[in-house]
Amino acid sequence: MAATRNPPRWGWVFGAVWLFYLSESLTALLRHPSGWQRSAGLAALAGFVVIYVLVLGHLRHVRFGPPAERSSPLIWAGVAAMLVLGALQIPGAGAHALTCLVYVAATAMMGLPRRQGVVVAGLLLVTAEVLLRTMPGWRAAGHGYSLAIVLAAVATAGIRLALDRQRRLVQAQHELAELAVADERARIAADLHDILGHSLTVVTVKAELAQRLLDVDLDRARTELRDLEGLARDALADVRATALGMRGISLPGEIAAAREALAAANVEADLPGAADEVPTRNRELFAWTIREAVTNIVRHAGAEHAAVLLQPDSVEIVDDGRGGAATGNGQGLAGLRRRADEVGATLTAGRRDGTPGFRVRMEAPS
Q: What is the DSSP string of 21-41?
A: GGHHHHHHHHHSPSSHHHHHH
| Sheet bearing 346-351, strands edge to edge | 268-270, 305-311, 314-319, 358-363, 346-351
Contacts of 51 (CB under 8 A, 6+ apart): 78, 81, 82, 85
- Sign, CA dihedral 183-189-195-201, equals negative
Q: What is the DSSP string of 140-161?
A: HHTTTHHHHHHHHHHHHHHHHH
Look at residue 84 in the predicted model and tell me its pLDDT.
93
Give residue 285's Cα distance to chain centre: 28
CB of 77 within 8 A of CB of 66?
no
Look at residue 277 in the predicted model and tell me its pLDDT.
81
Angstrom distance (rounded) from CA 32 to CA 323:
100
Look at residue 315 in the predicted model and tell me its pLDDT.
93
Per-residue pLDDT for the chain (366 aa), expressed as one digit of tens each? 444 445 555 555 656 667 778 888 888 888 888 888 888 989 998 999 888 888 887 776 655 444 434 557 888 898 999 999 989 988 888 888 888 899 899 888 888 888 888 999 999 999 888 888 888 877 766 567 888 889 988 988 888 888 788 878 878 877 887 887 777 677 667 666 666 666 677 778 878 888 888 878 888 888 878 877 777 776 676 666 665 555 567 787 888 888 888 888 888 989 987 777 888 788 888 988 998 898 888 887 788 899 999 998 999 999 988 765 444 444 578 888 888 898 899 999 888 887 888 999 999 987
Phi and psi (nearest 5°) for 328?
A: -65, -10
- Sign, CA dihedral 332-334-338-339, equals positive
CB of 86 within 8 A of CB of 65?
no
- 3-class secondary-structure state, position 362: strand
Burial of 93 (0-12, 13-18, 19+ CB in 10 A): buried
